[in-house]
Structure formats: structure tokens, C-alpha cells
């Protein structure tokens, strides 16, 4: 799969997800039909330094990469919803379908919890690489949004919030109620 490094290009691409929202990402095109889809974590985007570094390393090996912004993140359309793993799974699906339709061959998806759920649901890629599933989602959410967040969610069901770092998002009790390891066991067993 060796590629001519001088021929490697970066191109911003966009395509719709199944909700009609525009998803945006950066294609690192080495000329290879093989492609790895790179997915960011919570409170991040396709511009994460780790994803850019991984894309550059794949380029050196002659493998194309696509850094995806999930809906509601980065430049992609939609509302930011924390813990919306099922929507992220469908965003990954939209990317896979886009590239298959463009005569590319996605060979792996790399990221956090959403890539595990994708692999459990679709079984269509030869590889899945999990970078960093949160072990303590509850304490992480409390650190960002305050320890009283759970009482507010029980009372109101959902709310728009602004984190200490300035991030604005909608959170709801359904998406925040179960830690990912529990949700992963349930969704991957079926």
C-alpha cells in the first residue's frame, strides 16, 4: 500500500447523515482506495491533535484517512448531545456508506465508545480500534457540569447547559443515565 507522499492531499468533505444534517470531515487522500475513519471523543472535533497525528501516520503508510466531525460537533450540523452514542453510530454509518459509494474501501474505524457500538451493530469493517472509552463517565460529567446535574435532570428531564469551559450542549436523563460500559454490554449482546 505504499503511496507517493507528495501526492497525499487533504480535502474537506461533507455529506448528509440519516437525519439530513451535514456531516463534515477532512479526507487525507493518499490515492489508496483503503480508508480508516477516525472519530473524535466527547467535547472534541476532527481537529483533535491526536486524530491529526494518527492521520499523518496513516498517510506515511500509504493509507487514506477521514477525520469525522460527529453531528453537533465541529463544523457538522445538528445539536450537540452528550452521550448520544446511537446517533454517533449512525453518523459513522453515513461515513462508511458515503465512502463505499465513492469507490473507497473503509478498512477500519477508530475512536471511543461509538466505534465499539458500530462494530457490534454493523459487522462490516475488518477492524475497529478503541482509543479511549471513559471508565468513570459519572464523575467526568459531574466535573464538567456540577454534582447537582442529576437532580436537575430528574426534575426537568432535559436542559441546555453551558460547561465550565464554555461548551453549550443539551443533556437529557436518558442519554446520561447509564454509563457506557453498561450500555455497551446491552447493545453488543443483541
- The enclosing domain of 73 has a CATH number of 3.40.50.1820
Contacts of 28 (CB under 8 A, 6+ apart): 8, 9, 10, 55, 56, 58, 59, 64, 65, 66, 67
pLDDT given for residue 149 in this prediction: 65
Q: Is the full-model pTM beyond 0.75?
A: no
Q: Is residue 114 part of a domain?
A: yes
pLDDT given for residue 49 in this prediction: 93
Which range of residues forms the domain containing residue 16?
5-134
pLDDT tens-place string over residues 131-187: 876 555 555 566 666 777 667 666 766 666 565 555 555 555 554 443 344 344 444
pLDDT given for residue 44 in this prediction: 84
pLDDT at 4 over 90: no
Residue of 70, 40, 34, 35 whose CA lies nearest to 52: 40
Count of domains observed in the chain: 1
Q: Is residue 122 part of a domain?
A: yes
Q: Is residue 181 part of a domain?
A: no
d(CA 78, CA 81): 9
Residue 11 sits at the vertex; the CA angle it makes with 10 and 14, to the nearest 5 degrees, is 145
CB 38, CB 55: distance < 8 Å: yes
The cell for 174 is: 436518558
Amino acid at each position: 500500500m505504499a503511496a507517493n507522499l507528495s501526492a497525499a492531499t487533504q480535502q474537506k468533505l461533507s455529506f448528509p447523515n440519516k437525519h439530513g444534517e451535514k456531516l463534515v470531515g477532512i479526507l487525507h487522500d493518499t490515492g489508496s482506495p483503503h480508508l480508516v475513519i477516525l472519530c473524535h471523543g466527547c467535547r472534541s472535533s476532527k481537529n483533535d491533535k491526536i486524530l491529526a497525528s494518527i492521520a499523518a501516520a496513516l498517510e506515511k503508510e500509504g493509507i487514506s484517512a477521514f477525520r469525522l466531525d460527529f453531528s453537533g460537533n465541529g463544523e457538522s450540523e445538528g445539536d450537540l448531545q452528550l452521550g448520544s452514542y446511537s446517533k454517533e453510530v449512525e453518523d459513522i454509518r453515513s461515513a462508511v456508506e458515503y465512502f463505499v459509494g465513492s469507490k473507497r474501501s473503509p478498512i477500519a474505524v477508530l475512536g471511543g465508545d461509538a466505534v465499539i457500538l458500530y462494530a457490534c451493530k454493523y459487522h462490516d469493517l475488518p477492524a475497529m480500534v478503541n482509543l479511549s472509552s471513559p471508565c468513570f463517565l459519572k464523575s467526568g460529567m459531574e466535573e464538567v457540569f456540577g454534582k447537582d446535574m442529576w437532580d436537575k435532570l430528574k426534575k426537568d428531564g432535559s436542559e441546555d447547559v453551558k460547561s465550565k469551559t464554555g461548551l453549550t450542549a443539551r443533556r437529557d436523563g436518558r442519554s446520561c443515565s447509564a454509563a457506557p460500559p453498561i450500555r455497551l454490554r446491552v447493545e453488543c449482546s443483541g
